[in-house]
Structure 1
């Protein structure tokens, strides 16, 4: 996805509704899952115990939903949804998060990022809502996660 020449903090509202396309693939290795489990304290066996998970109905370990959610920021920077001239970008929260399908360890995930809404919040501030839809690479018919993220941008 190439960012339009007129894409800046000042022109951001005119781009509401724009689909910024797919991010580069992000690999969700077992090592990454284990590190996330250690960092978050969520060491539930379906994520970290490969032997036990192999005997489960799913048949393998899976990524944490919150690990996928944390990849939205990387995807947003990857597709260029935030204007280069924004002085500061702050995480403002999330809306409508759903984990729709398990993501097997070793999968690569891509994320479609849409600039859903831009709201002026006073001089030099804009609240940006992005619609983020994650897919296992190669299967763009079945999302594994959808989430609306909010960011406060400052000039």
Structure 2
């Protein structure tokens, strides 16, 4: 059973690391499925032969595929808050794709709580710094401030 954190404890964690997910494989199958779902079949993502001749040396994941993995990383890594009715994505600030994610790479999410404030009763705004790390990589794949609204019962 997962223990639930009280919101006042969570708010008190501003400025601190709040979680790191497990590593997740970004293989060619995942990239191809994402390409089909988004209809983005640019060769750098789906054609290993042509992609080998690029500076990357292989296919790379779509930036938006990397971004979409933030959801699963957050489910694994972020504290579970008591009495939550729902969480809603509010957007991103300063989203940057720093390094390409090559097919076959392992990635994970690293989260820092940057801001937590009440917008109205039972509605908590949060700004969470997220870095998508590449196993063995010197630089992250992605950095961003993830904005969310949490509604409490």
Fold shared per TM-score above 0.5 = yes
RMSD: 1.8
- Which residue of structure 1 aligns with residue 64 of structure 2? 66
- Which residue of structure 2 aligns with residue 44 of structure 1? 42
**For the residues of structure 1 that align with 2:99 and 2:4, how far apart are their CA atoms?**
37
Which aligned segments of 4 or more residues in structure 1 are displaced greater than 4 angstroms?
Answer: none
State how 1:87-106 maps to structure 2 within 5 Å: 87-106=85-104
TM-score scaled to structure 1, two decimals? 0.90
Contact 1:9–1:86 under 8 Å retained in 2: no
Is 1:124 the counterpart of 2:90? The answer is no
Structure 2 unaligned runs (5+)? none
TM-aligned CA distance change 1:44 to 1:52, over 3 Å: same
How many residue pairs get aligned? The number is: 151
Structure 1 unaligned runs (5+)? none
TM-score scaled to structure 2, two decimals? 0.91
Where 2:40 maps in the other structure, the secondary structure is: coil
Deviations 1:104-124 (A, max 9, x none): 101010121111110101110
